[in-house]
Amino acid sequence: MKVVLPILIAVMTAGLIGIAWVQSGGVASREISAGRTPEEAVEALMRDVQARNWNSAYSRLANTNALEKQDFIRDLSGSNGSLRTYSSLQSFTVWPLHATDQEATMRVRMTWSSAIGPLDEVRDLHLQRENDAWKVLWPKPNLAKVPPQVIPVNYLRWDVIGRTLGDDWGVQNVDPPNVRITSMNAIERPEGVVLVGELVNEDTVPAYVSVNATLLSPDQTTIDQESSFDTIAHTLLPRQVSPYRIDFPGVRIKQVKNVRMDVKALLVAASADPVIAVTDQKIEKDALGAILLRGNLVNQSGQNVDIAQVVAAYYDANGKVIWVSNGYVDQALLPQVPVPFGVDVPKDIAPKVQSYHVVVNHYSRNNG
């Protein structure tokens, strides 16, 4: 009896575990891992990417003979210190576009989590059937290779002297740069009140700027206080203009009687390098029907830019700022290599847009 009872308990425990595994989708998971349908094949691939199980993910591809594993990994996990290298696949959605008995096209929307928030990516993946399983034909990534070259350095640079190591950051012994808000437009959106506009550095030295705003009620009490956060070009060179946007979630325009604006500027060391050109700009719809301002960024310097942020202002026929949007590029900007970008434009704003102005913030591990 002493021997039979432990064996009986072990058998019953194993049976319960098996039932729980089946009920929780264990069988379905095994079927999905086999890729018996195009949708299951893509879902299995995405789960491997989510788990960073690159060997398993690579084995689900139909074109491994034409695609190096390291190129596949770099395409999804990033390289050169880009924003993608600091991101992970948070979730994904898969739906069919076309299918026959032997080939199919699936669309996958990937949401990547990063330090600056979620990043969405949409890809159309082609699949082919191999015996009883479906495999993905992963497109060969166009990974940039920068040839050896000499790029002359002739940019302007401003250094700040006169501070000691014991001074706190932002302690200044000189007058702050002269920065002025040139426009402000309060608009109501479904999510709340939004302030958009522009400011300019009117000084001969660079400035680190931020814009704060306070909404006041009819009796002059404070409704809310917010700042532009990262929807602005923080470092402005002399005479440079930046758009800004300040969001007040949950506030209605009828509650607001007055707006108090406050721009803060600090003298900072800066340089005009890297120069990032914005080319091929146009407003168009993406595969999901969203309206985007798209274009390319070209790093015209000789140093890599790890992370680039696009801030765009949109103007109506009267030259008034009617919206400001921003977005990050998850690829590093290598010298002289165009990198695409896309930032959202609200559908009700897009028909009113007559022109736009794009500025680029840049961050690198070497110089911040």
pLDDT at 21 over 70: no
Q: Does one domain contain both 306 and 265?
A: no
Of 83-87, 133-137, 172-176, 362-366, give the lowest mean pLDDT range: 172-176
Determine phi and psi for 22, rounding to 5 degrees: -65, -45
pLDDT at 217 over 60: yes
Helix H or strand E encompassing 58: helix 54-59
pLDDT at 17 over 70: no
pLDDT at 135 over 50: yes
Res 145: pLDDT: 77
Res 162: pLDDT: 67
- 122 assigned to some structural domain: yes
Q: Is 234 helix (H, G, I), strand (E, B) or coil?
A: coil
Cα atoms in the 13 Å half-sphere on the side-chain side of 112: 21
Q: What residues are paired with 353 via a beta bridge? A: none
What is the domain range of residue 75? Answer: 25-137
Res 71: pLDDT: 94
Q: Does one domain contain both 262 and 298?
A: no
Q: Does one domain contain both 265 and 161?
A: yes
Maximum average pLDDT range among 1-10, 239-248, 295-304: 239-248
pLDDT at 169 over 70: no
Residue 293: CB atoms within 10 Å: 22
- 147 assigned to some structural domain: no
- 143 assigned to some structural domain: no
What's the average model confidence in pLDDT over 90-109?
95
Spatial separation of the C-alpha atoms in residues 204 and 237, rounded to whole Å: 8
pLDDT at 75 over 80: yes
- 142 assigned to some structural domain: no
Domain-terminating residue out of 270, 302, 320: 270
DSSP codes, 5-42? HHHHHHHHHHHHHHHHHHHTTHHHHHHHHHT-SHHHHH
Res 34: pLDDT: 55
Of 87-91, 166-170, 221-225, give the lowest mean pLDDT range: 166-170
Spatial separation of the C-alpha atoms in residues 9 and 50, rounded to whole Å: 37
- 229 assigned to some structural domain: yes
At residue 164 the predicted structure's pLDDT band, cuts being 50, 70 and 90, is low
Percentage of the chain modeled with pLDDT above 90: 72
At residue 31 the predicted structure's pLDDT band, cuts being 50, 70 and 90, is very low
- 35 assigned to some structural domain: yes
Q: Does one domain contain both 249 and 196?
A: yes
Domain-terminating residue out of 87, 106, 137: 137
- More confident position, 342 or 148: 342
- More confident position, 218 or 117: 218
At residue 171 the predicted structure's pLDDT band, cuts being 50, 70 and 90, is low
**pTM recorded for the entire structure:** 0.80
What's the average model confidence in pLDDT over 17-44?
62
Read off the pLDDT of residues 233-287 as tens digits, 9 standing for 90 and up. Answer: 999 999 999 999 999 999 999 999 999 999 999 999 999 889 999 999 999 998 8
Q: Does one domain contain both 229 and 296?
A: no
At residue 7 the predicted structure's pLDDT band, cuts being 50, 70 and 90, is very low
Q: Does one domain contain both 198 and 248?
A: yes
Q: Does one domain contain both 264 and 195?
A: yes
Res 170: pLDDT: 54
| CATH number of residue 344's parent domain | 2.60.40.10
Q: Does one domain contain both 33 and 86?
A: yes
Residue with tokens 């301002």: 293
- More confident position, 151 or 303: 303
Res 167: pLDDT: 61
Rounded (10°) angle between helices 4-23 and 26-34: 60
Q: Does one domain contain both 279 and 266?
A: no
Q: Does one domain contain both 65 and 96?
A: yes
- 15 assigned to some structural domain: no
Number of domains in the chain: 3
- More confident position, 28 or 203: 203
Q: Does one domain contain both 223 and 281?
A: no
Q: Does one domain contain both 130 and 94?
A: yes
What's the average model confidence in pLDDT over 344-349?
96
Please state, rounded to an integer, the average pLDDT across all residues of the chain.
87
Domain-terminating residue out of 270, 305, 332: 270
- 14 assigned to some structural domain: no
Q: Is 49 helix (H, G, I), strand (E, B) or coil?
A: helix
| CATH number of residue 85's parent domain | 3.10.450.100
Res 339: pLDDT: 94
